[in-house]
Amino acid sequence: MKEFVFGVDIGGTTVKLGLFTTDGTLLDKWEIPTRTENGGSAVLPDVARSIEDKLTEKNIAPEQVEGIGVGVPGPVDSDSTVHKCINLGWGVFNVKQRMNELLPAIPNVAAGNDANVATLGELWQGGGKGYDSAVMFTLGTGVGGGVVVDGKIVAGKNGGAGEVGHMTVNPEETVPCNCGKCGCLEQYASANGIVRMAKIMLTECSTPSALRSMDSFTSKDICDLAREGEEMAVSVVDRFGDYLGRAMSFIGCTTDPDVFIIGGGMSRAGAVIIDAITKYYRKYVFHVSANTPIAIAELGNDAGIYGCARMVIG
């Protein structure tokens, strides 16, 4: 095992880079802009140059670097082939091959989907530290996720593994999700979804609520009111927990992970949502898996660079 490793998390506007020791300490992190023009052809050359500059700055020889892990916002094969990354303008090509051309001195390169990689990062040094298998739910604008079994990312035949936000938890739903289907978890358990659900629930009852007097409200408003014990907000969070806990129970009956991890902006609500999720997870899952811990993500936006680095450590 060499001494250093790079994690490179490519987003639609910025690329986050991290220099780690191979035992998991983040030594330095920085960002460069993602230049998506011309089919994103400058993105990986920019990354390679930035890594070379960092090696010079830190006086590290390429031979001291174990490898470079790359996270990408789109489907990635287990052999590091990207299958179109709309946000980056990329078509189909092999990230490892391209990086090997750009930086032949550091041949060990692997690429993974950003949500899967973030799960691996949380498992390595975050909310799932100490475990081998995890499933993460990232509750942001939508609901993303990642599945790791025995330390390895499960990408799936079609890159569809970890698309937990698109489990059809409500087959009666008539309003379509962004994906085109109706009744996806994302329509109830994302930051936008819980607000949408609260608005509908408010029209269906006359329970008093501070939410009724707000011009607009956010998932944070709902969770704050629920934490204070407001009846209406508590019932919204309870229904959120029912959908998310149920989705989690399906995974408990499939891969039975060591730990579930809740990430994304909504995870900042903490115990008030974890309690609601846990209540329903335990209700719905097969009894042997009822006590699986549900942890909160700890690495925030750094989960990606951690997971990228972890990918190339044997």
As beta bridge partners, residue 63 has none
Residue 144: closest CA among 171, 118, 123, 180:
118
10 neighbors 95 (Cβ within 8 angstroms): no
Query: Residues 303, 304, 306, 308: what is their CA dihedral angle, to the nearest 10 degrees?
Result: 160
163 binds its own copies (CB under 8 A): yes
Q: How far is the CB of 1 from its own copies (least distance, A)?
A: 24
Question: Among 104, 130, 180, 314, which residue interacts with its own copies (rule: CB under 8 A)?
Answer: 180
122 neighbors 128 (Cβ within 8 angstroms): yes
H/E element, 82: strand 81-85
> What's 58's DSSP letter?
H
Q: How far is the CB of 127 from its own copies (least distance, A)?
A: 16
Q: How many residues would you count in the chain?
A: 314
HSE-up of 1 (CA within 13 Å, CB side)?
11
256 binds its own copies (CB under 8 A): yes
181 binds its own copies (CB under 8 A): yes
Question: Among 242, 262, 263, 277, which residue interacts with its own copies (rule: CB under 8 A)?
Answer: 242
Residue with tokens 């329903």: 280
Q: Nearest 5 degrees, angle CA 269-CA 75-CA 19?
A: 65
Question: Among 36, 116, 133, 138, which residue interacts with its own copies (rule: CB under 8 A)?
Answer: 133
303 binds its own copies (CB under 8 A): no
Size of interface with its own copies, in residues (CB under 8 A): 47
Q: Alpha-carbon distance 150 to 162, whole Å?
A: 15
Q: How far is the CB of 290 from its own copies (least distance, A)?
A: 9
249 binds its own copies (CB under 8 A): yes
Q: How far is the CB of 255 from its own copies (least distance, A)?
A: 5
Question: Among 26, 32, 42, 154, which residue interacts with its own copies (rule: CB under 8 A)?
Answer: 154
Nearer to its own copies among residue 158 and residue 206 (C-beta): 158
Amino acid at 281: Y
157 binds its own copies (CB under 8 A): yes
Question: Among 68, 247, 308, 313, which residue interacts with its own copies (rule: CB under 8 A)?
Answer: 247
Identify residues 32-91 at the interface with its own copies (CB under 8 A).
Answer: 75, 78
Nearer to its own copies among residue 5 and residue 197 (C-beta): 197
Q: How far is the CB of 148 from its own copies (least distance, A)?
A: 11
Q: How far is the CB of 258 from its own copies (least distance, A)?
A: 5
Q: Alpha-carbon distance 72 to 113, whole Å?
A: 5
Question: Among 50, 178, 284, 296, which residue interacts with its own copies (rule: CB under 8 A)?
Answer: 284
269 neighbors 235 (Cβ within 8 angstroms): no
Residue 37: closest CA among 96, 90, 74:
90
> What's 266's DSSP letter?
G
Q: Given the rule CB under 8 A, which residues bind its own copies?
A: 75, 78, 133, 135, 147, 149-150, 152, 154-164, 166-168, 171, 179-181, 242, 246-247, 249-258, 283-289, 292
